[in-house]
Structure 1
Amino acid sequence: MSEESDTSSSYTGGSPWPLFVALGLAISEVGVVLGLRPVSVAGLLLFVGSVTGILTESGYISRPTLAAGSQGLALIGIGIALIVQNQTGTTVRGQSIVIAGGLCLLGVLLWAGFVRTRTQETPSITESSEATSD
């Protein structure tokens, strides 16, 4: 009986990321089928963010911005390959993928700039070692 209580107290629950990975891909494909490019791009951005979340939560990466940026570059490469094929269904999908990859890279650059300015503005909270004696 004590073994059951030990295992149940250490269980923290499942990760929400796999649901969002599937939801991101499904939303992206619905956007392509219905011809709604913003929906397709939003689904791909949800997918990229979820994959980055899974990798961070599992401890495979320590810098999520690097993972999101590399996924953005991969999306741009895949999208360009689909656009170059110049077929009816792949052109719209390829354009959506390139837009999502570009927005992903833009988001990574904005986040890196935000973090850099925030760390430069934070004052140092160290006390001087000199003691004044009056």
Structure 2
Amino acid sequence: MDDQPGLSDQYRMASPWPPFVAFGIPLAELGILFDVFVVAVAGLLLFCGSLTGMIREAGYVETVWRPLAVFAVLLFVVGGVFTFSDVNLVTRGYAIITAGGILAFAGISGELFVPKREPI
């Protein structure tokens, strides 16, 4: 008799991404709120990278490179709004744009230089 009927050893029971998403959101918010450049960039990278991992793990995309580029575009837009608004949020906008630039670099580099895997 099996302790857990219907479950197989080949499937993972839990995803590693939710704790990283849960840690990335407040880290990014604290960095943006208190204008700490490095913390804001690190939090945004952790949050967007973890979401990309979740999307890949769920099977919605084949690679992580294009979702990273999409998140980069979203961060460019939000950072541009912060940077060019009348309120004094320029350094916060620069932090968001920097995180978007890093994600764009990773997405473009991965798409161009990482070899494609053949389906099994």
1:115-130 alignment, distance < 5 Å: 115=114
Per mean C-alpha deviation after superposition, the further-off stretch among 54-63 and 11-20 is 11-20
* Cα separation, 2, equivalents of 1:91 and 1:81: 9
Q: What is the match of residue 99 of structure 2?
A: 100
* Cα separation, 1, equivalents of 2:81 and 2:43: 20
* Cα separation, 2, equivalents of 1:53 and 1:38: 22
SS of residue paired to 1:35: coil
* Cα separation, 2, equivalents of 1:113 and 1:79: 26
* Cα separation, 2, equivalents of 1:101 and 1:19: 22
Matched, 1:56 2:56: yes
SS of residue paired to 1:15: coil
Structure 2 contact 28–40 (Cα < 8 Å) conserved: yes
* Cα separation, 1, equivalents of 2:24 and 2:75: 14
Q: What is the match of residue 83 of structure 2?
A: 83
Decide which structure has the larger Cα Rg and report it: 1
1:1-134 alignment, distance < 5 Å: 2=2, 4-7=3-6, 9=8, 12-88=12-88, 90-115=89-114
* 1:47, distance to aligned residue in structure 2 (A): 0.8
* Cα separation, 1, equivalents of 2:51 and 2:4: 33
Unmatched segments (≥5 aa) in structure 1? 120-134
Runs of 4+ more than 6 Å apart: none
Normalized against structure 2, the TM-score is what?
0.81
* Cα separation, 1, equivalents of 2:91 and 2:21: 21
- The size of the alignment, in residue pairs, is 115
* 1:110, distance to aligned residue in structure 2 (A): 2.7
Higher relative contact order (CA 8 A, sep 6+): 2
* 1:108, distance to aligned residue in structure 2 (A): 1.8
* 1:48, distance to aligned residue in structure 2 (A): 0.9
* Cα separation, 1, equivalents of 2:47 and 2:86: 25
SS of residue paired to 2:14: coil
Unmatched segments (≥5 aa) in structure 2? none
Percent identity of equivalent pairs: 33
* 1:91, distance to aligned residue in structure 2 (A): 2.8
* 1:9, distance to aligned residue in structure 2 (A): 4.6
